[in-house]
A and B are shown apart, each in its own frame.
Chain A
Amino acid sequence: MSDSHGHHPKPKTPTQQRVEAIEALLVERGLITSDVVDAIVETYEHDVGPMNGARVVAKARVDPEYRARLLEDGTSAVGELGFGGAEGEHLVVLENTEDVHHVVVCTLCSCYPWPVLGLPPHWYKSFAYRSRMVREPRAVLAEFGTTVPDDVEMQVWDSSAEVRYMVLPLAPDDVAGRSEDELAGLVTRDHMIGVVR
């Protein structure tokens, strides 16, 4: 629109003003440029996300040796597919089975394996999820529409400052008939956090 006078933007909150003041300071000190910030945001909005983790899961489905390497050393194995970097340094992959269901939380903040899942969803960072998952995981999963049978052991993994977790979900029954792309398309972020089985 050409008319820049016709709108009335909402007043900025103190936090928004703070962010602007911090950016101004860091630019003024020559520490960052706004272009670098733009590029980082662009990367995390578009290039890094659960599609990466889905590729990892799909490869593990069709390549048993890769699956073994993935469970042995997650960081190294996802690196084989070109995924790595911040918050992926100590990645542990947890394999769901008919007997065990894994689910991941970070009780203290928002630790999450960025290279394979991107930035965490809103609810992962919420006080409700962080506080309740350890205490009543089955109840929380029920709110995601997930029922874990009583005879399946539930293991809740609290991401620490050191370790990031990703769940390798149960494979579909018909893996043999599907391509790696198809298999990747069946995997969602919520599977790899463990809130969906």
Chain B
Amino acid sequence: MIADQPPEDIPRSNGELVFEAPWESRAFGLTAAYLEASGQDWAAYRAHLMAAIADLPDATPYYEAWVVALDRLLATDGLAARGP
């Protein structure tokens, strides 16, 4: 139910940090750098991001979906990072 979503997910004030943890900024920067290096624009990545958000549970933190999408983009391009 939409009405069941916790309202505290929508803060009322301005001024929060762009990134909430260093790994989030790293994930963002890696994505931007990889797209640039591989000559792709953000649309190539965004399709994976939309799909990842749709596939994962609604409560999944945004940047976790981001990393899943980045992994999928890299896999599409034939790049598979080693575990974990």
Contact B9 A19 (CB under 8 A): no
| Residues of chain A lying within 8 A (CB to CB) of residue B23 | 15-16, 19
Tell me the residues in window 24-60 of chain A with beta carbons closer than 8 Å to chain B beta carbons: 24-26, 29, 31-32, 36-38, 40-41, 44-45, 49
Query: Cβ of A97 < 8 Å from any Cβ of B?
Result: no
Contact B11 A108 (CB under 8 A): no
Q: How large is the interface on B (under 10, 10 to 19, 20 to 34, 35 or more residues)?
A: 35 or more
Given A108-B54, A144-B12, A161-B46; A37-B18 close (CB under 8 Å): no
From residue A97, how far is it (CB to closest CB) to chain B in Å? 24
Contact A26 B30 (CB under 8 A): yes
From residue B80, how far is it (CB to closest CB) to chain A in Å? 8
The majority secondary structure among interface residues of chain A is helix
Cα distance, A9 to B36, chains bound together (Å): 33
| Residues of chain B lying within 8 A (CB to CB) of residue A122 | 11, 16, 20, 62
Given A16-B23, A111-B46; A25-B9 close (CB under 8 Å): no
* Contact indicator per residue, chain A 115-153, by CB within 8 Å of chain B (1) or not (0): 000110111011111011001100010011100000000
Cα distance, A118 to B25, chains bound together (Å): 13
Cα distance, A20 to B64, chains bound together (Å): 13
Cα distance, A23 to B27, chains bound together (Å): 9
Please report the total number of A residues contacting B with Cβ < 8 Å: 52
| Residues of chain A lying within 8 A (CB to CB) of residue B70 | 22
| Residues of chain B lying within 8 A (CB to CB) of residue A158 | none
Contact A18 B84 (CB under 8 A): yes
Contact A31 B25 (CB under 8 A): no
From residue A151, how far is it (CB to closest CB) to chain B in Å? 25
User: Nearest 10 pairs between A and B by C-beta?
Assistant: A128-B5, A37-B29, A128-B9, A25-B81, A32-B33, A41-B29, A21-B81, A40-B29, A125-B62, A127-B58
Query: Can you list 14 residue pairs at the A/B interface with Cβ under 8 Å?
Result: A19-B23, A19-B27, A20-B26, A31-B34, A36-B29, A37-B33, A40-B33, A41-B19, A45-B25, A122-B11, A122-B20, A126-B10, A127-B9, A132-B5
Excluding A111-B46, A131-B58, 18 further A-B contacts by CB distance (< 8 Å) are: A16-B23, A19-B26, A21-B81, A22-B74, A25-B79, A26-B37, A26-B79, A31-B34, A36-B29, A40-B33, A108-B50, A108-B53, A109-B53, A122-B20, A127-B58, A135-B2, A136-B2, A161-B43
